[in-house]
Structure 1
Amino acid sequence: MTRPLAIFGGTFDPVHLGHLSVAWEASELLDAEVRLMPASVPPHRPAPIASAAQRVAMLRAALQKQSRLSLDTRELARTGPSYTIDTLLELRAEQGDRPLLLLIGADAFAGLPSWHRWRELFDVAHIGVLSRPGVDAALPEVLEQEAASRRVVDPAMLHALPAGKVIELAVTPLEISATRVRELLAEGRDPRYLLPCGLFDDPAVLAPYRNA
């Protein structure tokens, strides 16, 4: 039984408490190390406003004074789109047979068939679907067929296998939008209780959005 390594990716433009709360809760539910992994060039959304260095600075500030969540910047060093399968293959080569988990929201999971080489993801990692309690997302038939035999409910099962399972994690959603946070900052307002406290310690950290 090996403690899994879970990856939680995103643009984190900026990182906010909604990101951190679900990553923390998933870490507790799974008894896993969770790494936040900022994307360089996200294939499915516009380029971030903040630079890679600025987003890393925000994440470092947000992750201070705790040991459950950490930062992995490998995708920022890669040129071209940040394809998840490439990242997971790289991690698999590093981690051997250690269980790997990809943490994604229920909406993103429903769109998995549009991802680059999506079927191969199950060969390299488990998938943890972050869902709202009591809310079921409809899946396309091709994904439902792929996931049906892979579903498990006991997180301990993921500790014994390196990859291949799907588990639903009912987490507490915080209705925080990075888009809205950027709007507030651009208006000169102070989204004090939407962002981690560490982001307010250095005024330069949030400067990209105040000057947008």
Structure 2
Amino acid sequence: MLDTNSKYKFVWAEMSFLSLWWDQASSDQRTLLKKLLNNKQLEIVTGGWVMNDEANTHYFAMLDQLIEGHQFIENNLGNISLQSGWANDPFGYSPTMAYLLHGIGMQHMAIQRVHYHIKKSLAKEKQLEFMWQQTWDRKNSTGIFTHVLPFYSYDIPHTCGPDPKICCQFDFKRMAGTDVSCPWGINPAQITNGNVRER
């Protein structure tokens, strides 16, 4: 799909799954993947073997899975530059991961699974973006620019913007006749040629 429109972009995080695809991909598919990486339509984020949990994970395990993922990249995709870390669903966050990502040259990272009270507080104070540095670092030599995704994790109404009643109107799994609806009283409507401008 990316090759049909140069405006399309996509990010890929876990090399374990990319490796499964790579093993069965044709030569043409592999060439296309490399082309999409080179023209920056496809971006590999973090590049770890997995998106490891962080809260109770030993730093050696974090480092080991990063090495394994980056070795896959180097051995199969060549020397590509990774700029961004992506951790939308680990169990907890650790300053260790921020430290490791900064240490391997990442410029920024995005995180998601933060308690909603913390998100609300950060949003209220306009601090959803910050330099995440180590507590012992007084010179900001370890800081990595971090963005906290502001909405709830797994619920469509809270993922497209600040007003869930609007977002819910575009969650087509909630259309009339299904077992879920929008709690704000305005359900999604099928988009047709007649209502596309209004929608």
TM-score (norm 1): 0.29
Q: Could you say which structure has the higher helix fraction?
A: 1
Specify the structure having the higher radius of gyration (Cα). Answer: 2
Q: Could you say which structure has the higher strand fraction?
A: 1
TM-score (norm 2): 0.30
| Higher relative contact order (CA closer than 8 Å, sequence separation 6+) | 1
